[in-house]
Amino acid sequence: MPLRLRGLGPEVSPSCVLLKFWGAMAIWSMLTVGVSAFVIQPEEHTVAAGNCHFRGKHPQTRLKVEGEPVAMRCPQVPYWDSASAGVNVTWRRNDSTTIPGEEKTRVWVQDGALWIVPALQGDSGTYICTVRNASYCDEMSVELGVFEKTEASLSLMSYPQIIPMSTSGLLVCPDLSEFIHNKTDVKIQWYKESVPLDQGGEKFLSVRGTRLLVNNVSVEDAGYYTCAMTFAHGGRSYNITRNIKLRIKKKEEETIPVIISPRQTISASLGSRLTIPCKVFLGAGIPTTTVLWWMANNTHIDDAYQGGRVTEGQRQEYSENNENYIEVPLIFERVIREDLHTDFKCVVINTMSFQTLRTTVKEAASFSWGIALAPLALIILVLGGIWIHRRCKRRTGKTYGLIELKTGHQDS
């Protein structure tokens, strides 16, 4: 008697289950082998044929001075796992002359970097760096411009740097890593607008080789700086200079904002247009980090008035007498009765504080009282008139009325 398995339907024998299982396995393994063969083959083919993925041109053009040494790193190398073995870096010019990997000529490749010592104007052009391992390859191009050393070319080649106005800040002589690699004593001379700086004084101090400490940073320190070092190669000494355009950033501070308007109540006529400005005083504080908005019944204006009858106006930042202000208006296209019962609130927040100011809309007094009292006054007048008329009738009788009638007649 064959064994029966429960839950697999009627009359299913174990041998049948096993058969189905093996069948499925065979199909699955055939599929995976087929797919993997399909996937791996084109990839191997691509690399073998040197068909590299081109990443494009690096956005930064390298601008150098004629006569100075140049060392360029492959721009896409940071995307690669540089520690992994078997990564091969090659350089070639756009016109496809491959650059030799040995230090025998003026131009060579060493540890993945392209060296040109010294650079000539004819070296200007496009260079393509190829990085490959056993399974992957990509390329990127770099633009090099070599210029004669002139005032104009120096300002064109300057590296922008910014230090904030404060007690001290650092200038860095940039793009020297290839030249100071493995060197313990790096001597850099600093100049400001071609005048050598006293680098051991109270104002400037040379620190850790490539840095210059600037004390008491003020707006007068802005301008062009030059740093220079010498580099020896093949029994010759070369100058390497870098130009820096230094900008001094005014110190930014944050203050506690103060909401100075709106007033507690605002008068408006129903049906009219209304603008309530929320004005915030910042003093010397910077507006960029201060956020300002309006709320109605603790709901954002956009959510409370989806029809757009009430909106928040454009934010304005301005200065009056060197004090900074921010203003955001609340704009009613048309004031309706509901607004008189709504709680409006201006909210201001920055890292130092959070503040709110509430305001309510009141119906304008002069207009509304007139409207409300006019019918009442009319009724009082009419009633008063009737009362006086009746009293007069009772007291003086018809004669008085006749005299009155007569005089009235004479007058006309």
Ligand X SMILES: *[C@@H]1O[C@H](CO)[C@@H](O)[C@H](O)[C@H]1NC(C)=O
Residues engaged in binding ligand X (CB under 6 A): 80-81, 84, 86, 88, 90, 94, 126, 133-136, 141, 202, 215-216, 238-239, 296-297, 304, 338, 341-342
Contacting residues for 107 by C-beta, under 8 A, at least 6 apart: 99, 100, 114, 115, 116, 123
Q: Which is nearer to ligand X, 239 or 267 (CB)?
A: 239
Joined together, the tokens standing for residue 390 give 């009746």
Instruction: Indicate the helix (H) or strand (E) that contains 369.
Output: helix 365-411
The length of the chain in residues reads: 412
Of 370, 374, 393, the residue nearest 382 (C-alpha): 374
Q: Which is nearer to ligand X, 90 or 161 (CB)?
A: 90
How far apart, in whole angstroms, are the C-alpha atoms of residue 130 and residue 124?
A: 19
Contacting residues for 118 by C-beta, under 8 A, at least 6 apart: 66, 67, 68, 69, 106, 238
Cβ–Cβ under 8 Å, residues 268 and 332: yes
Q: Which is nearer to ligand X, 136 or 281 (CB)?
A: 136
Joined together, the tokens standing for residue 78 give 């940071």
CB of 298 to ligand X, least distance (A): 9
CB of 93 to ligand X, least distance (A): 9
- DSSP-assigned states of every residue in 5-71: -TTS-TT--HHHHHHHHHHHHHHHHHHHHHHHHHHHHHHHHHHHTT-PEEEEE-SSPEEEETTS-EE
CB of 72 to ligand X, least distance (A): 15
CB of 237 to ligand X, least distance (A): 6
Q: Which is nearer to ligand X, 132 or 287 (CB)?
A: 132
CB of 108 to ligand X, least distance (A): 14
How far apart, in whole angstroms, are the C-alpha atoms of residue 229 and residue 209?
A: 10
Q: Which is nearer to ligand X, 94 or 289 (CB)?
A: 94
**CA distances for 29 relative to 26, 44, 154, 199, 350, angstroms:** 5, 22, 66, 73, 62
**CA distances for 160 relative to 73, 174, 241, angstroms:** 20, 10, 15
Q: Which is nearer to ligand X, 81 or 411 (CB)?
A: 81
CB of 57 to ligand X, least distance (A): 7
Q: Which is nearer to ligand X, 167 or 321 (CB)?
A: 167
CB of 176 to ligand X, least distance (A): 15
The sign of the dihedral angle between the CA atoms of 350, 353, 354, 355 is negative
CB of 339 to ligand X, least distance (A): 8
Q: Which is nearer to ligand X, 53 or 263 (CB)?
A: 53
CB of 310 to ligand X, least distance (A): 8
Cβ–Cβ under 8 Å, residues 148 and 121: yes
Of 283, 161, 285, 159, the residue nearest 217 (C-alpha): 161
Q: Which is nearer to ligand X, 125 or 174 (CB)?
A: 125
Q: Which is nearer to ligand X, 216 or 265 (CB)?
A: 216
Q: Which is nearer to ligand X, 170 or 304 (CB)?
A: 304
- The β-bridge relationship of strands 310-312 and 323-332 is antiparallel
CB of 396 to ligand X, least distance (A): 57
Joined together, the tokens standing for residue 117 give 């010592």
Mapped onto helix, strand or coil, the DSSP state of residue 157 is coil
CB of 394 to ligand X, least distance (A): 53
Residue that has been written with the tokens 């008068």 in this structure? 267
